[in-house]
Structure 1
């Protein structure tokens, strides 16, 4: 533990000798986790970030002897340039950080405010990234140093996937392994069917549609893809995504023809979950659906996959196929209804602790 001699909140335990080290009041830590972000868009910053991300065997599970030479010698020699250009197209130049980092900070501040209203000074709310900074290990260390004897770890992924939720949890557990006195830990489960989350999604769609002159022919719910093999190996991601779309459709009171599920961000030679968003939007345009909207329910915050891939690449695919009106509905981000939903999930998972 850190030196508490100058900490006014630290006290000597009751019935302890006078020379016993002072101890800080115990707190409950709420650690929010997101995917991650490069520190900058230059080649070496991108290479460090992509190297960490693509070396994660939850993300790419090929044997290391096969994958690492290909990654280090070929992919990481070229991809930092193209990825850096993509990030520069969406970069928050005012704050010199990625939109994901900006939004995650906003979400954390809003959730912290809600938790302080509910629990006062008994909780500590912060965020970490699975890849890049701030690292999971650094934030676990800070929480332990601050007196957190219990930590609620919250991966901000509505749907469970080995390549998202599981690897975030892995990193949290690895951080706990470094602590001499481990805090008690809980993991927030996926919240893909949480009514408050579904209602927040529905409200975002309703608000977007209210600002349009004409209702889109179809709402495309574009989820991040994973190899189809993962589904066959037991990953529940595909089923959870399908259920979110169904619940959203029911909440909106729509017909099956007004909403569809697709998957984006395919990488590598394998077959991934279908239909692919980039192909499906073109098919919709070719079959007469000239006015569509796209939302990304699997992303808690706008990022490279939404701001660049959906709003640029996927939009272009639709328009080149004859599409006319393309509306991107932003992620829930720090929207009030989203913060309310996330706060409810946190409160539910703190039961018995506070």
Structure 2
């Protein structure tokens, strides 16, 4: 049986010229802006034009493009290798055909669902597994990617058994991977003083949460499980939210405010990006440059994203094998 794993991620511009169309695709998503068309289309045109220059300056700081595709490719390669190694070890014969192939599908820039569906159809799998690189479920990320995939699968006549992994915010291997990395940086920070761990997640408008989106609850559950497993008495920690845009109310407290509070308290900060599993502009610029500048260098310890961490890859492998 051949298995196609569709690895969903946000995507990012691959050049400065791609910034405006990337932003347009983002803001034209009905799961991001719920206005009906043509209003949503016109608003997306306006916002993408207005934000283009600001966003280009962000990407200029990291080489003129987003690194998210390269990072996701590394994750896909390791996941595919480990999946096929697992299938081979379980096989009764010494030689088996390729069992699993991992396809990357970005939501707002290439490779987009329309082109990925065609490649999957050519691969002709017996089963498709939809695996978002969003550990916590949100209508703005997980659901948006799945709906877009299903629309394109129908358009191109991709008909095979499809299973969806909606979230893994409480998966034991996912939690363990975070515990291992966070503990490592906590020990480094402890040489200066008693650290405060800031678990930073991408923010969401409160209006989305009020409609029943479970994202914030799942972020909280993830963090509580990590804190419990770290098992340090009187651990100083906080959940905070980053990457807010626009004047509407978003999830709080903001990462920026929590950093200012830590600075005022004179404690070293261990900052863990809890909702991102790949490095991109919101970790490499926001966390590593903008937020780091707010704290003295020796007081700021940024935990890397899980990326190709072996325990995290083990989590993804088991999700693909044990899906239901």
- TM-score (structure 1 length as normaliser): 0.83
Partner of 2:301: 327
Does residue 88 (structure 1) correspond to residue 38 (structure 2)? The answer is no
Partner of 2:92: none
1:1-354 equivalences under 5 Å are: 27-42=2-17, 45-64=18-37, 66-73=39-46, 75-91=47-63, 98-120=66-88, 121-212=98-189, 213-214=191-192, 216-255=194-233, 257-286=235-264, 288-318=265-295, 325-349=299-323
Given that residues 27 and 48 in structure 2 are in contact (C-alpha distance below 8 angstroms), is that contact kept between their aligned partners in structure 1? no
Cα deviation, residue 64, structure 1: 4.3
Larger RCO (CA under 8 A, 6+ residues apart): 2
Structure 1 portions without partners, runs of 5+: 1-25
Q: Write the deviation string for residues 200-222 of structure 1: whole angstroms up to 9, x where unpaired.
A: 00011122234443355200000
Separation in structure 1 between the aligned mates of residue 35 and residue 235 of structure 2, nearest angstrom: 38
Separation in structure 2 between the aligned mates of residue 216 and residue 266 of structure 1, nearest angstrom: 29
Q: Which is greater in Rg?
A: 1
Return closer, same or farther for 1:211/1:233 CA change in 2, 3 Å cut-off.
same
RMSD in angstroms over aligned alpha carbons?
A: 2.0
Return closer, same or farther for 1:64/1:265 CA change in 2, 3 Å cut-off.
farther
Return closer, same or farther for 1:128/1:215 CA change in 2, 3 Å cut-off.
farther
Given that residues 155 and 188 in structure 1 are in contact (C-alpha distance below 8 angstroms), is that contact kept between their aligned partners in structure 2? yes
Given that residues 218 and 289 in structure 1 are in contact (C-alpha distance below 8 angstroms), is that contact kept between their aligned partners in structure 2? no
Separation in structure 2 between the aligned mates of residue 310 and residue 329 of structure 1, nearest angstrom: 10
- TM-score (structure 2 length as normaliser): 0.91
Given that residues 216 and 292 in structure 1 are in contact (C-alpha distance below 8 angstroms), is that contact kept between their aligned partners in structure 2? no
Given that residues 279 and 317 in structure 1 are in contact (C-alpha distance below 8 angstroms), is that contact kept between their aligned partners in structure 2? no
Cα deviation, residue 324, structure 1: 6.0
Separation in structure 2 between the aligned mates of residue 133 and residue 219 of structure 1, nearest angstrom: 35
Q: What secondary structure is seen at the aligned counterpart in 2 of 1:209?
A: helix
